[in-house]
Structure 1
């Protein structure tokens, strides 16, 4: 494969531009603002301090190890700031992480993709090609960001109006998919026409805005952009890699090895540790995981290729070879080691949160799983019935098709690392066997069961199993409807706009505070309604002191409760 395969530089630019537009749009489209808020401090540090340290540190390393001119070194440094959704999203999908860890990595990937691409273009055009410097360079960066964000907001707004006003044919997911694709490509093209490489900022802005709005056939649009991204990634990555002269990579020799070592073991760990420092919800294992995850994606590969072609056309063949060699060497190594071994690194560090296993993927099991996942719990469902498994998968749950009464099935579901198990089958004998297996063979303490026959409740409870009898649960719910209708409706709607949860106080900052002092720490809309300590519970007064290890019940608006829970219980 050669440049002529694409019809020359113009053809390659068009193909790469289309791919970048869809890929970056898809990454931004999947990012929710409420997820960004989960780790806003760390995310902000990653895209500011982290980006600057990576850019400058990489540029200095490239300059002194390879002898490359400062201007080209800074182009390489700016390109290698970008991690990107193309490599980060598969990591967070394959490794079960707590919400704040995955959101920090994904936010960094989206924003640094944009800023890295534009910074690289500005440095390349203004400094390498000697078209400007100083204040002009800063203005050029701001101009591209402004043109990109403006175009993205315009196209996202127009698309939203068209979909919400039902201008498209009713119940037409394919038209929605086409409109979303048109939004990505249109925003990219218009922004690039206004200012070179502003298109990356445009598709990121458009994707982020549309991704946080509700419109008809949204799920169909999400599936479509995901499928397009997979197809384009496979094609573009292979195509760009085929254009790289492997000799340019090999010619770097020990300088290339040194560059990779500095990026992997100096710059990224420094960025990860500083970005998570003082953020209490990050455990040390999670800080180390963030420090180990900085694989590079499609943006540095595509932009470096286009720059190298332009340098070669100017007669700067050595500079073109250095640019491609260093960028693709870092891409190859970081993708192979960091992305390729992300699951193993996560397992070794122990960042995967302990899951709750639900045996029985029927209606009761799926309803429970929905409630638990809405609270941020990691849930694994186990059932040997193919139809029930398919129904649970269709609802987005992690499902293991196995016999939950057997040790092998429970081991497959990860019971060795589970924090609890729930037997939710419609047969009490099956539920009892599941619970006994979990308790006797795996020494699991937190064991719960659905009891279908009320006469069996005593049998379950005598074994130390948390039993909930369906007849009793139904009677209690009906009694609430009759005697406490407002409370019943409130409880039934938990997860929509309000919540009630019980958590353990693990924050050193909270331990020792009184309830009145705590009111200044937790947001409005959340109340501490109960404190459990030493097997006793009480409704706290204003002067009640909260201690580490207390079980605190929070009630209120779901966002306020979630924020308060993070502050009281920042880590496992």
Structure 2
């Protein structure tokens, strides 16, 4: 059964996503758990062997998956995001990459024992980090905006350049030794330029087609996915490894066209990217042999990994970011975090074969060397990024705050009550006047539309993990809930009752969870405030139960509860049994 291709494909997908869920559930680094899962079902138990099962299309599938992942990452690279630290990113991607190439090549030669030609090639490849490893770490660590953005941009932008740099070094080696397969360096640069032009032109044309409605809504995401794969294949056919550059440029161009359908496309690509990252990591690690794993245990491999982490990486970052506007703490964190991932694994396999065929026997160590670096950096950085970010005060708030959309008498009292209970609150409204009462109460406010691009690029929503839509417009509340549902999750999105004729069905399909009792919409809640009601907090104990409280206060509208650990519980009508038998405080409109 395990050798059946029909079984292995869904099995690998399931194991990959299960590994991600385990990592989320127990707050462990996702890439570490995925690697361990791949080793467990592959070389350790022999349940699957994807390389043998997929045969000649194995590397093709991996390459196409990497292309989609890299495009999805570059689709989020808006230049407005880095307006304040563009200088640092430019230096890291140029000066830092150059230092890393030279220092990495020296480490590969003197520490790992590779010949100079092989070290020269692999040193260029090892400048990459990549979205497959960086993005899961950033989701896990919740860094502050600037270090997170720099690591994300570096991972996505440098990824194709690392592959191109290794290809350039490979062509230089072939030309120096006048070996078969060498091409003109000029041809290499022309091919890279053509790949960049192809990606840029196709990205612009695709963006125009999407924006002008030439492509119907139901075809936008599927057609874009197929186009990305085609651009990658065409560019890679011109010269190997230039496809990564083409899809990166394509995504970068589309990201900065500010398309109206950008969010829908990004959510679609993110869902696919999660599946691909999981399955690719599982496929690669499950395809390893015990001989390769034995090579990894060589002390030179381990020492090389330590050299790359503690000498090469810090040296490249500190050298590149002198007077670049970054603090010492930010440089220290960025100088430590550089996990290698899928691109390093896939591309090194190609060069290992090519260099051995060209007559460089030490290239046989490349696969083991790359795996050693990947495992060492993934484990070390995966387990240390959150701890180090917290020590350096570069971690965003723990994300226990509440965003309230719509300023009114009720939401102002709600924000004040939450703030009194040490919950971080942000109250947003498009009217400056509507927010005046909240500002007088010392509540953090923001004027603007939460659905606009202004919010995305200028308002930091990281500290908030719950959202309440409480404007007087039902349709707008539903739109807000639908927009943030993929980000915060259905059970962290709330809204006040709807005024529509069939609010129950409408809310269940498109909106968030009900904030209070279904017969109270925002207008009725405001009317209660105007009639003299206010939010009052009552302690519930084993002696004074919630049932007694309800009997004594039949007119009370329970809004939220606070557990002893400080956890906030909304939607009390549905979660009544959850808190009925434990001590807590209930906050009601009374």
Q: What range is the shorter-chain TM-score in?
A: 0.5 to 0.7
Query: Cα 1:143–1:377, aligned 2, differ >3 Å: closer, same or farther?
Result: same
CA deviation profile, 1:42-86 (whole Å, cap 9, x unmatched): 111111121111111111111112321111112221111111112
Partner of 2:305: 260
In 2, distance between residues paired with 1:197 and 1:210? 22
Contact 2:124–2:163 under 8 Å retained in 1: yes
Partner of 2:283: 239
Shift of 1:273: 2.2
CA deviation profile, 1:260-300 (whole Å, cap 9, x unmatched): 111111111122223333234x3322221111111112211
Asked if residue 328 in structure 1 is aligned to residue 371 in structure 2, the reply is: yes
In 2, distance between residues paired with 1:360 and 1:68? 55
Asked if residue 5 in structure 1 is aligned to residue 62 in structure 2, the reply is: no
In 2, distance between residues paired with 1:157 and 1:138? 29
Shift of 1:118: 1.1
Asked if residue 339 in structure 1 is aligned to residue 339 in structure 2, the reply is: no
CA deviation profile, 1:382-414 (whole Å, cap 9, x unmatched): 769899999668437769969xxxxxxxxxxxx
In 2, distance between residues paired with 1:144 and 1:340? 40
Partner of 1:37: 83
Asked if residue 153 in structure 1 is aligned to residue 196 in structure 2, the reply is: no
Query: Cα 1:49–1:361, aligned 2, differ >3 Å: closer, same or farther?
Result: same
- SS of the residue corresponding to residue 404 of structure 2 reads coil
Shift of 1:258: 1.6
In 2, distance between residues paired with 1:374 and 1:216? 15
Contact 2:171–2:183 under 8 Å retained in 1: no
Contact 1:144–1:197 under 8 Å retained in 2: no
Partner of 1:285: 329
State how 1:434-453 maps to structure 2 within 5 Å.
none
Query: Cα 1:353–1:30, aligned 2, differ >3 Å: closer, same or farther?
Result: same
Partner of 2:463: 380
Query: Cα 1:2–1:222, aligned 2, differ >3 Å: closer, same or farther?
Result: closer
Contact 2:402–2:467 under 8 Å retained in 1: no
Partner of 2:242: 198
In 2, distance between residues paired with 1:276 and 1:311? 34
Give the paired residue count.
407
Partner of 1:57: 103
In 2, distance between residues paired with 1:353 and 1:214? 27
CA deviation profile, 1:114-165 (whole Å, cap 9, x unmatched): 11111212323552595679x9664344223202101101211221232233
Partner of 1:186: 230
Partner of 2:391: 348
Query: Cα 1:212–1:70, aligned 2, differ >3 Å: closer, same or farther?
Result: same
In 1, distance between residues paired with 2:456 and 2:249? 29
The higher-RCO structure (CA 8 Å, 6+ apart) is 2
CA deviation profile, 1:360-384 (whole Å, cap 9, x unmatched): 7353335446488754445534769
Shift of 1:24: 1.0
Contact 1:38–1:99 under 8 Å retained in 2: no
Query: Cα 1:65–1:374, aligned 2, differ >3 Å: closer, same or farther?
Result: closer
In 1, distance between residues paired with 2:322 and 2:391? 21
In 2, distance between residues paired with 1:378 and 1:178? 30
Contact 2:50–2:58 under 8 Å retained in 1: no
* TM-score, with length taken from structure 2: 0.61
Query: Cα 1:73–1:384, aligned 2, differ >3 Å: closer, same or farther?
Result: closer
State how 1:214-225 maps to structure 2 within 5 Å.
214-225=258-269
Query: Cα 1:342–1:430, aligned 2, differ >3 Å: closer, same or farther?
Result: farther
- SS of the residue corresponding to residue 219 of structure 1 reads helix
Which piece of structure 1 moves more, 93-102 or 193-202? 93-102
In 2, distance between residues paired with 1:88 and 1:356? 20
Asked if residue 17 in structure 1 is aligned to residue 63 in structure 2, the reply is: yes
In 1, distance between residues paired with 2:135 and 2:481? 23
In 2, distance between residues paired with 1:354 and 1:381? 8
- SS of the residue corresponding to residue 83 of structure 2 reads helix
Contact 2:130–2:343 under 8 Å retained in 1: yes
In 2, distance between residues paired with 1:432 and 1:373? 35
Asked if residue 177 in structure 1 is aligned to residue 221 in structure 2, the reply is: yes
Match among 149, 152, 160 for residue 106 of structure 1: 152
Partner of 2:72: 26
* TM-score, with length taken from structure 1: 0.63
Asked if residue 93 in structure 1 is aligned to residue 139 in structure 2, the reply is: yes
In 2, distance between residues paired with 1:360 and 1:63? 54
Asked if residue 75 in structure 1 is aligned to residue 121 in structure 2, the reply is: yes
- SS of the residue corresponding to residue 463 of structure 2 reads strand
Structure 2: give runs of 5+ residues left out of the alignment. Answer: 1-48, 408-426, 430-444, 471-476, 494-524, 539-563, 566-590
Query: Cα 1:392–1:178, aligned 2, differ >3 Å: closer, same or farther?
Result: closer
Partner of 1:539: none
Contact 1:359–1:382 under 8 Å retained in 2: yes
Shift of 1:430: 4.2
- SS of the residue corresponding to residue 167 of structure 1 reads coil
- SS of the residue corresponding to residue 234 of structure 1 reads helix
In 2, distance between residues paired with 1:205 and 1:217? 19
Shift of 1:217: 3.0
Contact 1:187–1:202 under 8 Å retained in 2: yes
In 1, distance between residues paired with 2:492 and 2:236? 49
CA deviation profile, 1:339-369 (whole Å, cap 9, x unmatched): 3432222112211246897557353335446
In 1, distance between residues paired with 2:163 and 2:154? 14
- SS of the residue corresponding to residue 66 of structure 1 reads coil
Partner of 2:542: none
Which piece of structure 1 moves more, 159-168 or 41-50? 159-168
